[in-house]
Amino acid sequence: GQQVMQIPQYQHVQEGEDFTTYCNSSTTLSNIQWYKQRPGGHPVFLIQLVKSGEVKKQKRLTFQFGEAKKNSSLHITATQTTDVGTYFCAGRGTSGYSTLTFGKGTMLLVSP
């Protein structure tokens, strides 16, 4: 079955430093979504990428979808303490009504 892997599992940065999390799928994806989960909370949708090589930006967040549609990354520029949480990628397969497969997430801790 489809597997989605994320690295790193955990990252601790100082406020103002950059942060990147990487996501790799064992199979080609139709699209990939990113979610953020604050401690004690539930996943909140950030963005969806659909096209090969797509790059999208949301303020300090930059999302990329690989050319082969099997990998993705999320980059945060100049982290803030409000960025604390776990970032998940979730890939959707290409067959029929494929469902979302989540990675294990990258937990980000930002120290002031």
Partner 1 sequence: ETGVTQSPTHLIKTRGQQVTLRCSSQSGHNTVSWYQQALGQGPQFIFQYYREEENGRGNFPPRFSGLQFPNYSSELNVNALELDDSALYLCASSSRDGSEAFFGQGTRLTVV
Please report where in the chains the tokens 């997430």 appear, as a residue: 105
Judging by DSSP bridges, how do beta strands 44-49 and 19-25 pair with one another?
A: unpaired
Q: Which of residues 23-52 bind partner 1 (CB under 8 A)?
A: 31, 33, 35, 41-45, 48
42 CB contacts (<8 Å, ≥6 apart)? none
Are β-strands 4-7 and 55-58 bridged in parallel, bridged antiparallel, or unpaired? Answer: unpaired
11 scored as a contact of partner 1 (CB under 8 A): no
Residue 91 as a binder of partner 1 (CB under 8 A): the answer is no
**Residues 109 and 12 sit within 8 Å (Cβ to Cβ):** yes
Identity of the residue, 17 or 50, whose beta carbon is nearer to partner 1 in the bound complex: 50
Is 3 or 80 the residue whose CB approaches partner 1 more closely? 3
Q: Which of 49, 64, 101, 110 binds partner 1 (CB under 8 A)?
A: 101
26: helix, strand or coil: coil
The distance of closest approach from Cβ of residue 49 to partner 1 in the complex, given in angstroms and rounded to an integer, is: 11
Residue numbers at the binding site for partner 1 (CB under 8 A): 1, 6, 31, 33, 35, 41-45, 48, 88, 90, 92, 97-105
